[in-house]
């Protein structure tokens, strides 16, 4: 049996206001082709199918079109759990209809934990796989609050509750396997943050709980499973050095800090009386992201390089220099005119840092005259001394001209 592990699609997500629906559609088309080519029997989707609780019509269309088309492949079952971005009730709503198509959806914690255990049978009616489809567990799902408890006490209760939930469903799966008389694989699924998990700034991963106290040790949730398919972290990674506990990561780079990251899916092959085999399937890039940063000469050089190469890319441009560059946007747009390069974000850190520093000292302004205020601004800018002198002279000349003009009225 071949099982594919995917997660964190975030359908409907935008990048600085730019729609990514074409990328999602390209990914899902490619995924269907790979499911057929790789002879995948079961597809696991470990949460965050959508980016927001109320997905757009286009995001819903992409999801349901995919589920309809997967029935045309040799993949026999799909198991979907909700992540923290998903609406449990929205995912659960069509579950009975989808179940008739061998698409098993668990959007929220079930009152009866047995309803989270998906039993997959072969054509002869023999049990061949058990999947513990544990959705994202919220505080209210696994712990009761007590008056006067500290945050650390609440976090420990949360971890204990999550661990107990996994231990209970693992025990139930083991009993089901024993009753079948067959040594079938048991897969666990989850959407959570394991201790030591790797994230990247700007990847869109939300903190599930404040701080790090509620990050779960993998040993507390992995016992009894032949493979643990996790979602939530967008960087592909194994957990605690164990290939059988893994995040497959998001299929698209969620931000510019992930631009050079190879996205992937995981395929787990189960063979009788053998250790499961793991294959990592690289995902193509459909929209190139290019972070560009430095002073203006460095930025201009990189942009010219991309322009000459006729690259089709979205850009994040971060200006970092002591030299003032008030016309950064104009220079960038002039340089990129007629190209296939689209700047989604232009950050002038020199100006941004200046504003933040100036805000911290705004209370002092009332005690200064106008020349002192301008002089202080030049100091905050940290411009070269020669440039400061030139700007201060220009400022004085401007004031003098304005004063003379006022006197002549």
**How would residue 409 be classed by pLDDT, with cut points 50, 70 and 90?**
low
Other Cβ atoms closer than 10 A to 406:
8
- Of 245, 196, 197, residue with least CA distance to 225: 245
The continuous run of DSSP H or E covering 163 comes out as helix 151-180
pLDDT, greater one: 407 or 121? 121
User: Residues 189, 79: contact at Cβ < 8 Å?
Assistant: yes
The continuous run of DSSP H or E covering 5 comes out as strand 2-6
% the chain with pLDDT above 70: 86
Q: Is residue 188 over pLDDT 80?
A: yes
Q: Measured between alpha carbons, how far apart are the two ends of the chain, in Å?
A: 90
Q: Positive or negative CA dihedral for 143, 148, 153, 155?
A: positive
Cα separation, 177 vs 44, whole angstroms: 20
Length of the chain: 409
Query: Yes or no: is domain 2-282 CATH 3.40.50.2300?
Result: no
> At the topology level of CATH, where does 287-360 sit?
Double Stranded RNA Binding Domain (3.30.160)
The beta-strand segments (E) located in 154-212 are: 186-191
pTM of the model: 0.81
pLDDT at 209: 45
**How would residue 266 be classed by pLDDT, with cut points 50, 70 and 90?**
very high
pLDDT at 90: 95
Minimum mean pLDDT among 89-93, 143-147, 344-348: which range? 143-147
Mean pLDDT, the chain, whole residue set:
87
pLDDT at 211: 40
User: Residues 322, 384: contact at Cβ < 8 Å?
Assistant: yes
For the chain, the domains span 2-282, 287-360, 362-409
């Amino acid at each position: 049996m071949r099982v594919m592990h995917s997660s964190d699609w975030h359908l409907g997500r935008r990048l600085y206001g730019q729609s990514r629906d074409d990328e999602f559609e390209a990914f899902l088309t490619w995924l269907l082709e790979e499911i057929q080519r790789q002879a995948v029997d079961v597809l696991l989707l470990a949460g965050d199918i959508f980016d927001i609780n109320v997905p757009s019509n286009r995001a819903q269309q992409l999801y349901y079109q995919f589920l309809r088309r997967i029935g045309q492949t040799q993949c026999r079952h799909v198991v979907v759990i909700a992540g923290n971005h998903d609406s449990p009730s929205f995912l659960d709503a069509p579950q009975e209809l989808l179940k008739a198509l061998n698409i098993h959806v668990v959007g929220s914690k079930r009152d009866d934990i047995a309803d989270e255990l998906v039993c997959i049978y072969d054509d002869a009616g023999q049990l061949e796989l058990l999947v513990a489809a544990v959705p994202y567990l919220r505080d209210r799902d696994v712990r009761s609050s007590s008056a006067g408890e500290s945050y650390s006490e609440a976090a420990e209760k949360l971890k204990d509750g999550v661990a107990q939930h996994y231990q209970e469903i693992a025990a139930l799966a083991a009993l089901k396997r024993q009753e079948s008389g067959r040594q079938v694989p048991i897969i666990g699924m989850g959407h959570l943050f394991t201790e030591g998990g790797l994230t990247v700034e700007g990847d869109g991963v939300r903190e599930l709980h404040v701080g790090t106290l509620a990050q779960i040790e993998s040993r507390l949730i992995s016992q009894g499973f032949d493979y643990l398919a996790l979602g939530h972290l967008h960087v592909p990674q194994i957990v605690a050095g164990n290939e059988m506990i893994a995040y497959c990561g998001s299929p698209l780079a969620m931000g510019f800090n992930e631009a050079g990251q190879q996205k992937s899916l995981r395929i787990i092959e189960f063979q009788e009386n053998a250790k499961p085999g793991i294959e990592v399937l690289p995902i193509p890039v459909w929209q190139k992201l290019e972070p560009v940063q430095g002073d203006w000469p460095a930025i201009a050089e990189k942009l010219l390089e991309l322009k000459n190469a006729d690259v089709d890319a979205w850009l994040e441009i971060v200006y970092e220099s002591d030299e003032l560059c008030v016309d950064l946007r104009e220079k960038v747009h002039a340089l990129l005119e007629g190209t296939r390069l689209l700047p989604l974000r232009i950050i002038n850190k020199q100006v941004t840092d200046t504003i933040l520093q100036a805000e911290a000292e705004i209370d002092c302004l009332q005690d200064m005259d106008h020349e002192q205020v301008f002089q202080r601004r030049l100091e905050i800018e940290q411009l070269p001394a020669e440039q400061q002198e030139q700007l201060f002279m220009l400022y004085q000349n401007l004031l003098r001209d304005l004063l003379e003009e006022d006197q002549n009225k």
